[in-house]
Amino acid sequence: AFVGSLALFAFQAWCHALPRFGLVLPMSVWELFGGVVAAWTVCAFGHVLCWRTYCFFDCASICQNDPDFKSAGIINIPAFISASREFIVLWDERYLTRLWCVYEMAVAQSIEGIPIRILPMSVYASLTVWQLYWFVMEVAWLLIRSNVRGTLLCDFVGGVLCRLPLFAMHARAGRGFADVYADLQQQFEAFDVRSAAISDESDRRLIFDSIEEMFDGSLDNFNHKVRTTLKSTAMRSFTGRKATLPYWKMLWQSLAVMPAFCALWSTEGLVDTFEASPYRNAERVIFGVTFTFCGYPLFSAAAMELGRRCTRGAGPGGARAALTYLGVGVLVTASFSAWTWCALTAPTLHLNGPVGALLMAVSVNGLAWGATVWAFRPHARVDADRAGPTSEAPRPSGVEPESNAGQDGP
C-alpha cells in the first residue's frame, strides 16, 4: 500500500495529473484506491511468487484413501515437521480438543529450534474487519473534505465516527484476547490424550503407537508434557512483548492510512509548494509517516491493554462492559487527538520560527517512535500477570515466513 500510493503520488507530481473529484476541493483519490488495491492483490496472490516456500498440511499431505500410504504418512510426521522452519497454529475453540492437532504440536515442540506461533482466528478476523472499517472511513473523509467547506466536519468524521468506535472495538478485542489466553491455558491443563477427539477412530491406535515410541512408551508422559512443557512453549507467542499483538499485525489494520495521506498531499500540491514552504511541508510529511507507522499501532495497543485491564474480574458482555469499552474509546481518542495537536498543529504556530517549529515536530514525533519501539519490542522476561507460573522466557516474535502446520488431521 505504501509503495503503490507513493508511486501514484510521484506519477501525478512529476508526470501527469489524473482526473480529480469534488465540488469544493478537487480531490485525488487515486493514491488511496491504488495503494489499497495493490496491497490486497499482493495479499491474495503474492504466494504465487513464493516458489521456494512449501507448507506441510496434514489432511492434504497424507493419503486418506490407501491404509498403507496413510500409515507411512503418520509415521513420517516427525520427519515432515523437523524439516520445517515454523509451526503455525490456526487456533479456534476446538483446536486443542483434537488429537491430531495436539500430537503434531507436541512433535514440533520436542524438536529443538522450531518456533510455535498461535494465531487465534477470531482475533485476526477482527483485524480484517478493522481494516475494512478504516478504508471506508478514509473514503468518507476524502469525500467530505472535497465537497464540504471547512474542516470541522472532517475533524468530526476523523475523531468521532472513525477513531472512537475503532478504539472502543480495540478495547473489546483486548478483553477477548485475554479470554483466548485463559481458554488456551485451561485447554492445555485439561488435555487428556485418551479422550481427545479424532475424526476416524481407526487412526487412534496409529497415533498412540507413535506417541508411545516418541514419549517414553507412556500416554501419561505425553499428557504431562502437553500440560507443562508444550503449554509453556506455545504460550510464548502471546507474551513476547508489552503490546497485545505484534507490530506488523497492528499495522495491518491501518493499511489505508498512508494512501489517504498521499492522496491529501497530491490534492494540496505538496511538491509544488515545497520550495515555498519547506519547513511546513517537512512537518506534514514527518507527521504523516509517524501517524501511520507509530500513532495508530501505538494507541490501538493502548486501547486493547486498557480494555483488558478495566474489565478484569467482570464479564465480557453486558451494559457495564459496553460502557467500559466506550469509556476506553473516549479516553484513547482524546489522548490521540492531544498527541495529534502537539505533533502537527502546535508546530504550525511557528512560536519559535519555522526552524523551531520543525525541531518541535521532530521531537514530538520522535517520542512516538520511541514509545512504539518500547511497546512492540520483543523482550526476554514475561509479565507474570500474563505468563502464569509455568511459562518461560519467550522468543522474539519475528520469525521466518515459511510455515508448516496442519489443522484437523485425517
Spatial separation of the C-alpha atoms in residues 106 and 99, rounded to whole Å:
11
pLDDT for 318 equals 77
Q: What is the largest CA-CA distance in the chain?
A: 80
What residues have CB less than 8 Å from 323, skipping those under 6 apart?
none
* Residue 72 and residue 391 in contact, taking contact as beta carbons nearer than 8 Å: no
Question: What does the pLDDT read at residue 315?
Answer: 67
Which residues, in sequence order, are CB contacts of 248 under 8 Å at separation 6+? none
Place of cell 475494512: 132
User: Tell me: the pLDDT tens digits for 60-104?
Assistant: 778 777 878 887 887 888 888 888 888 888 888 888 888 888 988
Helix (H, G, I), strand (E, B) or coil at 408: coil
Cβ neighbour number for residue 246 with a 10 Å cutoff: 19
Task: Enter the C-alpha cell of residue 135.
Answer: 478504508
Task: Identify which of 362, 183, 347, 182 has the alpha carbon closest to the alpha carbon of residue 280.
Answer: 347
Alpha carbon of residue 325 to chain centroid: 20
Cell numbers given for 312: 478484569
Sketch the domain layout of the chain as residue ranges. Answer: 28-378
Q: How many angstroms separate the CA atoms of 382 and 390, rounded?
A: 11
| Strands (E) located in 85-200 | 87-91, 116-120
Contacts of 40 (CB under 8 A, 6+ apart): none
Sign of the Cα torsion 272, 275, 276, 279 reads positive
For residues 265-289, b (16+ Cβ closer than 10 Å) or e, as one string? bbbeebeeebeeeebbbbbbebbbb
Query: Coil, strand, or helix at residue 94?
Result: coil
Give the span between the Cα atoms of 231 and 271, in whole angstroms: 55
Q: What does the block give as the cell for 6?
A: 507513493
Q: Residue 190 burial by CB count (10 A; 0-12/13-18/19+): exposed, middle or buried? A: exposed
**What are 304-351's pLDDT values in tens digits?**
999 988 887 666 677 888 899 999 999 999 999 889 888 888 877 766
Q: For the chain (length 410 residues), average pLDDT per consecutive 10?
A: 87 85 79 91 84 77 80 82 86 88 86 81 86 87 75 66 88 88 89 88 83 82 89 78 85 88 85 76 88 92 92 74 92 90 78 74 90 84 39 36 38
pLDDT score of 36 = 92
Four-point Cα dihedral 185, 55, 128, 307, nearest 10: 20
Cα–Cα dist 172/160, whole Å: 17
Which of 119, 162, 154, 155 minimizes the C-alpha distance to 137?
162
Report whether 372 contacts 297 (CB < 8 A).
yes
What b/e readout covers 340-364, taking b as 16+ CB neighbours within 10 angstroms? bebbbeebeeeeeebeebbebbbeb
CA atoms within 13 A on the CB side of 386: 25
Q: How far is CA 23 from CA 144, 268, 273, in A?
A: 10, 15, 22
CA dist., res. 167 & res. 250, Å (int)? 12
Any residues with CB less than 8 A from the CB of 46 and at least 6 apart, and which? none
First-to-final CA distance of the chain: 39
